[in-house]
Structure 1
């Protein structure tokens, strides 16, 4: 399940058992080093929630955009022909 997978990645990164595959700092590095307005680090649950928001929000935004574009093209034949 996705939640368990993300939990394991966070745990591994906190314990130094995994590294970013990126050349620089990745999203997880930023979330692990971030602090709230009181200077407290984010909990693992907060980090997981933020990471999953990035993943799923990006996925749904893209698919919704594609549906909207196809709908507009199909309901406006002149625009479709111009493409």
Structure 2
């Protein structure tokens, strides 16, 4: 299933989520979320953040998102030198 998603342009997406600790709202805690998702709308991350706001006590502070394609066109480089040994 993962390979099929990658062919459908899903990308490895990492989100750094800062949230206020429920018992100490003045302190921030970090949570790192990672999954395959579709950029730029990020429906999987959006679904997770909606779950977080609905079910968890820690109020969200900020979210940083990075996304990278896992399947890319091959890179072609020309050889500058060819040597044949017997």
What's the TM-score, normalizing by structure 1? 0.23
Q: Greater Rg, structure 1 or structure 2?
A: 2
Which structure has more relative contact order (CA 8 Å, sep 6+)? It is: 2
What's the TM-score, normalizing by structure 2? 0.22
More helix by share: 1
